[in-house]
Structure formats: C-alpha cells, structure tokens
Structure 1
Amino acid sequence: MCLGIPMRVIETDGIAARCVRRGEERLVNLLLVGEVPVGGWVLVHMDNAVQALDEAEVGPIDDALDAILIAARGGNVDHLLTIPERDDAP
C-alpha cells in the first residue's frame, strides 16, 4: 500500500521545499506539482510532492491516516470516518 502524507511548505526554492508535518521535517521534490508557496500544502510520497492540496483537504486525509493506525492496533475508527449519503440510495 502506498500512502501520501500531507505536509506544509516552510521554505522553497521552486524546485524543492522543506516541509513539516506530524513532528517530521523533509526536503521534498516539487517537480511533479510545480512551485508551491510557503504555507502551502502538498501530499508527499517518498520525498516527492505528488499533489498540491487545499487546506480543506488536509483534515480528511489526516483522519484517514489516523484511522489506519488505530485500526491496525485493533481500535474503533467509526468516529474518524464518515460515508457520505448517495443521492441514488434506496
């Protein structure tokens, strides 16, 4: 399984960015997403930004990552996940 971690850009030269999140700091390659401003968010996989994120996207991704960790330990994750209702549901 491949996971991406949302990280906030704290410094950038347009090609790479120093990013922080969850107590970790990384130098991240921005070539796949282009320049991201300081304070912006990126989804990071193997030290590469694979997608620029809006701040509103960060919370749900964090909830999903937390759910994976809790479920792996046998915990209940119902409070972290919501399934949107479908318009075509019976």
Structure 2
Amino acid sequence: MFSDLEFWRLQLKQLLTPWVPPQLLACHVASRCKQMDDQQRTLIEDNRANLAEINRLRQTISQLHSKLEVIDSRSVQSMQKQGEVVETHRTLR
C-alpha cells in the first residue's frame, strides 16, 4: 500500500518525524535499496563489458606490436643491405 504512494517526494526531515508510520519508512528504504541494487547490477554489467573490451584491445595491441617488431627487423635488414650496396657501389667507382 505505502510503496505505491510517492512519499519519496517528501523532505528527509519530514520523513523522520514521529508522525510518519514505520511502514512508510520501511517502504521508502526498501524502494531506495531496490534502486541501488538495480544501479549496481547495471554497473557490474557495464564493468564486465568494459573489461571484455579492454582485453580485446590488449590482444589487438599485442598483435600490432608483434607485427611492428617484424617490420622493424625487416627495416633494419633493408637498411643494412642498402648500406652494403652503397659501399659496394663506391668501391666499384
């Protein structure tokens, strides 16, 4: 009965007067607890989704990093080869 009424609109100091029935306070607290539980569930779901996204991004970063290392080693080899070719060209002149 009390949970259907919108007593949450009352100021907190008005709810704490001795004339407010305890059932009303209990319903008010239960309603707030339910809202907080719903918010917590939503936050937990969001947190799980964010962690999954972070792990996916970490895996992508790891793959890109290993590709970058391969490309870097090829670039170093290419620069060494180019240096050898330039040196050979100078000695042939």
Q: TM-score if structure 1 supplies the norm length?
A: 0.26
Query: If you compute each CA radius of gyration, which structure gives the higher value, 1 or 2?
Result: 2
Q: TM-score if structure 2 supplies the norm length?
A: 0.26
Larger % of strand: which?
1
Larger % of helix: which?
2
